[in-house]
């Protein structure tokens, strides 16, 4: 079995967002970059599959030199090889899906794993778009995955519950928190990763579907007020305020 894991480098969740001088992108100063957490579940699932049934795991990222950190980490965790699709990494989900499809189309991957969304962009679109461009099955927001002979069964999170999606491989599966508990890299893995090289391929030319023309911080919330008194008085005052001022009830 041949598994491709698509990984994205994103700002850490604790990042305080600042808008760059161009008014439409993130100011990269002081940003700590990490592998998108949902992609970590995808990578862990690929490595577990390799350990359980044997598989070749290829880690992939789209971007520039800094994206190599994500790939080095993937190699340390157990990916067999890593590919950097060299591009500016600025395109939308549709552009990235075309870049990855352009690379993956004739490589014979049985399974493509990635996060259900890239942290930050929050599009939740690249996976399904990639599945469509490759003409394969998809299952998104997955918390359980079972692989059979040329088939898969996956539990997908939905509103107020979950559902079982079944289909044929190849497939694009996007991971959700709860799928597994990602491991930390071992010293042995880190040392072994240092000997591996990252293959670099120029990204294919693509068309973008959307462009960000402005990025802005949310408006400040109006100052609130504290409710005084004992617990019973506070409770009554709150419900009255929600009813009369906020008109929530």
Partner 1 sequence: MILVFCELKDGQIRKPSAEALSEGRRLADAAGKQLGALFAGASCTGAAEAAKYGADVILTAEGTSLASYSSDAYATVIADAVKAKGATVLLAAATAVGKDMAPRAAARLGAGYASDVTGLSIVDGKLQALRPVYAGKAFATTSFASAVQVATTRPNVFAAAEKASAGTMEALAAPTGDFKSVVREILAKASGKVDLAEANVIVSGGRGMKDGANFKILEELADAIGGVVGASRAAVDAGWGLPHSMQVGQTGKVVSPTLYIACGISGAIQHIAGMSGSKFIVAINKDPEAPIFKLANYGIVGDLFEVVPELTKAAKALGIGSN
Residues 141-170 interacting with partner 1 (rule: CB under 8 A)? 141, 143, 153, 155-168
Whether residue 204 contacts residue 86, with contact meaning beta carbons closer than 8 Å, is answered with: no
Return the number of the residue (10 or 58) whose C-beta is nearest partner 1: 10
Q: Which two tokens stand for residue 9?
A: 């480098």
Return phi, psi of residue 238, to 5°: -65, -50
In the complex, least distance from residue 97 CB atom to partner 1, rounded to whole angstroms: 6
Return the number of the residue (1 or 192) whose C-beta is nearest partner 1: 1
Return the number of the residue (67 or 129) whose C-beta is nearest partner 1: 129
Is residue 242 a contact residue for partner 1 (CB under 8 A)?
yes
Return the number of the residue (65 or 245) whose C-beta is nearest partner 1: 245
Q: What is the DSSP letter of 56?
A: E
| Residue from the set 146, 202, 243, 244 that interacts with partner 1 by CB under 8 A | 243
Q: Which two tokens stand for residue 119?
A: 């942290």
CA distances to 3, 190, 204 from 127, rounded to whole Å, are: 14, 29, 18
Q: Give the relative orientation of helices 68-77 and 187-195 as an angle to the nearest 10 degrees.
A: 120
Q: Which of 134, 69, 123 is nearest to 98 (CA)?
A: 134
Whether residue 44 contacts residue 181, with contact meaning beta carbons closer than 8 Å, is answered with: yes
| Contacts to partner 1 from residues 45-64, by CB under 8 A | none
| Contacts to partner 1 from residues 16-35, by CB under 8 A | 16-17, 19, 24, 26
| Contacts to partner 1 from residues 169-208, by CB under 8 A | 171, 176-178, 207-208
Is residue 102 a contact residue for partner 1 (CB under 8 A)?
no
In the complex, least distance from residue 43 CB atom to partner 1, rounded to whole angstroms: 16
């Amino acid at each position: 079995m041949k598994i491709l894991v698509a990984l994205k480098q994103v700002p850490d969740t604790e990042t305080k967002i600042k808008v760059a001088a161009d008014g439409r992108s993130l100011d990269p100063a002081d940003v700590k970059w990490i592998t998108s957490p949902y992609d970590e579940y995808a990578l862990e699932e690929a490595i577990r599959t390799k350990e359980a049934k044997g598989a070749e795991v290829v880690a992939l990222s789209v971007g520039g030199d800094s994206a190599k950190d994500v790939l080095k980490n993937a190699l340390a965790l157990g990916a067999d090889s890593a590919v950097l699709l060299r591009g500016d990494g600025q395109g939308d989900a549709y552009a990235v899906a075309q870049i990855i499809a352009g690379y993956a189309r004739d490589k014979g991957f049985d399974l493509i794993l990635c996060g259900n969304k890239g942290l930050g962009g929050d599009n939740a679109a690249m996976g399904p778009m990639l599945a469509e461009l490759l003409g394969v099955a998809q299952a998104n927001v997955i918390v359980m995955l079972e692989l059979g002979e040329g088939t898969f069964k996956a539990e997908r999170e939905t509103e107020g519950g979950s559902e079982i999606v079944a289909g044929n491989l190849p497939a694009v599966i996007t991971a959700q928190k709860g799928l597994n508990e990602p491991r930390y890299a071992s010293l042995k893995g880190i040392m072994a990763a240092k000997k591996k090289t990252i293959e670099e391929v120029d990204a294919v030319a693509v068309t973008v579907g959307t462009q960000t023309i402005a990025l802005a911080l949310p408006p400040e919330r109006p100052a609130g007020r504290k409710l005084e008194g004992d617990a019973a008085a506070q409770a009554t005052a709150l419900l009255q305020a929600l009813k009369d001022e906020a008109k929530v009830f």
